Every structure is written in structure tokens, then in C-alpha cells.
Amino acid sequence: MARAHPTDTAATADEAATWFARLRDPALSDAERVAFADWLQQQPDHAAAMQEMGAIWDSLNTLPDPRRTEIAPAPQRVLSRRHVLVGAGLSALAGAVGWSQWRIGDVATERGEHRRVIFAANASLELDSLSAIDMAPGEPHPMAELRKGQMFVTTERAAGAEVILRLPFGRVQAATASFNLKLERRRALVAVESGRVLVRRQSGGALEMGPNTELALGPVLVEQPRVLPAYRIAPWRDGWLIFDRALLVDVVDDINRHRAGRVLIGDPRLDDLLVTGTFKSDGGDAALLAIAETFSLKSLNFGSALTVLISA
């Protein structure tokens, strides 16, 4: 059997490392997802190289403490596929490490972290995992902008001293209310638990929402509020992910918010599959398994850092 030339192996490793880092970037485009799927199917070695990149990434997370002083005998140096891959891919993986540390907003949470922020007098914001906000808390109308993820707002202020929350497609204003704000790929969601909330849309004017209602805001989306059961409002606060005909792309974003590593939909044509189900927020693997079985998808795991969903 012919053996791969080291130069060919190094080139494949370099391509795999570049893809591994690129696939972990939130700015990945649909065209790049299609290009990756094509590259993956070109040669059997491509999938193997991606598996190696995943193993290298995992090994980077288990490096020994550099403060240790014990020195073990140096093993004999052997040029292997793993050494070639490490040499070719480490710089690209360093780029992926840089992305994983990237934060936006005045206040941002890490994966698995919930944080409560006293936003103003008698007003607080609770951020979900991997969420971010900007704040301008001056009186009489303290303001905040949701930049990423979702948050639950509680305010008990006097009329005329409303808090203002900005979203990509409008803004929300309330004096005494509790409600959840969430950013999805193509829209923002406002779900009211109690009180009255005034929503000003970029298109479609303003409307008032009452308890147990939800409204979707989009660039051209003009809808009326719909009734929403109480248990469906901010279920993340109780450790649940609840989906009712949600787009797969938004479901994957929610899973990524709570699950270590990154899940990627490999084919943009799968983005709009409609998902219904209830899962524990720390049960991302179970959710992925159920989704794959329901839609006949294949889940490709490249170490613990990257999972790609494709058609089976």
C-alpha cells in the first residue's frame, strides 16, 4: 500500500487546522460551510486530519502545569503523522484559542455562568450563559443594550422613570415588569412574565404587551404578540431548553450556549428545520442525539471542541 508523502500530509494537516479554527468562528459564512463540506468529502484523509486536530485541541487543554520542576527523561524523537499535524496546525489552533477568549459588551458571562447585575435603582438584569450587554445606567431612564444571548429583566420603578432596553430591531420600555429578551439569528424575542411592557419596533410602530405574551422583532417582521404559557418564559433560569417549532440554527445556538465545544450545522439547507422538544440545559449531547435521530442527520465529532451536523 502506498504511503502518504510527508509533504502531502503536512498540506492536509495545514488545511485541516485552518478549517478547524475557521469552523469555530461565529462569523463563519454559509458559503464557507458549503466549502468545508465539499473539502471533507474530497479525500478520506481529510476527515482523519480533522479528527487529529480535535485530538490536538483536547491535548492542549490537558497540558501539565508549567510550574512543576520535575524533569522526565526525553523520549526518542520519532517523526509521525501526529508530529507533522502538530507542527502544521498549532498556529491555526492558536487562532481558535484566541476566538474562544473573545468577549463583547460591558458585562459578559462565560459558558455555564448566570450573572445578576443591579442595573439601576429597583432594576436588575440576569444574564444567561454566554450573553453580553452594554449599559448606560444614568437616570431618569437607565438604558442597556443586549449584544448577545439573552437576559431576564426585573424592574419596579415609578411611572416616568422607565428602564429602556435596546435590541437590534427595536427597543423595550418598562417601569414595573419582569420579562425576558433573547437574540436569535434573524430576530429578537420579547416574553413578558408580569407587568406591562412597551415595545417600539423599527418597523411597525409601538405596542404594549401584557403578562404571558411573546413578540418577535425582525428587520421586516411585523407580528402581534402571542400567548405564551408561564413555563415557556425564560426556562433557562430553571435549567431547561424548550423549543416549539424553533429553527435548527437557533436550537444549535442555544445548545452552544450551555455545552462545551462548538456545534456547527455543516449544510445551510438544514438551518430551517423545525425542532420541537424539551431538554435540560446541560444535556446538549442528548439534545443533539434526539435531533440527529429525528431528522436523519449524522453527527461528526472532532474531539471535544467541534461537532458538525450533516445529512446522513
Residue 105 has what pLDDT?
Answer: 58
pLDDT at 255 over 80: yes
User: pTM of whole model > 0.85?
Assistant: no
Residue 58 has what pLDDT?
Answer: 62
CA distance 119 to 114: 15
Higher-scoring residue by pLDDT: 149, 77: 149
Q: Indicate the domain borders of the chain.
A: 1-56+81-102, 107-229, 239-311
CA distance 72 to 70: 6
In this structure, the number of other CB atoms found within 10 A of the CB of residue 70 comes to 5
- Grid cell 405596542 in the structure block, residue: 207
Q: Is there a contact between 20 and 92 (Cβ–Cβ < 8 Å)?
A: yes
Q: Indicate the pLDDT class of residue 80, thresholds 50, 70 and 90.
A: very low
Which CATH architecture is the domain 107-229 placed in? Sandwich (2.60)
DSSP 200-233: EESSS-EEEE-TTEEEEE-SS-----EE--GGGS
pLDDT average, residue stretch 229-235:
96
pLDDT at 92 over 70: no
* Amino acid symbol at 23: L
Cα dist from 99 to 20, 94, 95, 130, 173, whole Å: 12, 9, 6, 13, 34
Nearest to 236 by CA among 284, 173, 172, 169: 284
Tens-digit pLDDT profile for residues 256-288? 999 988 898 988 899 999 999 999 999 999 999
Residue 140 has what pLDDT?
Answer: 92
pLDDT at 69 over 60: no
Average pLDDT, the chain: 83
pLDDT at 65 over 80: no
Residue 81 has what pLDDT?
Answer: 44
Tens-digit pLDDT profile for residues 175-214? 999 999 999 999 999 999 999 999 998 877 889 999 999 9
Higher-scoring residue by pLDDT: 251, 305: 251
Lowest mean pLDDT among 2-6, 22-26, 46-50, 147-151: 2-6
Q: Is there a contact between 188 and 168 (Cβ–Cβ < 8 Å)?
A: yes
Tens-digit pLDDT profile for residues 122-160? 999 999 999 999 998 888 999 999 999 999 999 999 999
Higher-scoring residue by pLDDT: 213, 22: 213
The yes or no reply on domain 239-311 and CATH 3.55.50.30 is yes
CA distance 220 to 224: 13
The phi-psi region of residue 253 (left if phi > 0; otherwise alpha if psi is between -120 and 50; otherwise beta) is alpha
Nearest to 168 by CA among 184, 179, 154: 184
Q: Indicate the pLDDT class of residue 98, thresholds 50, 70 and 90.
A: very low
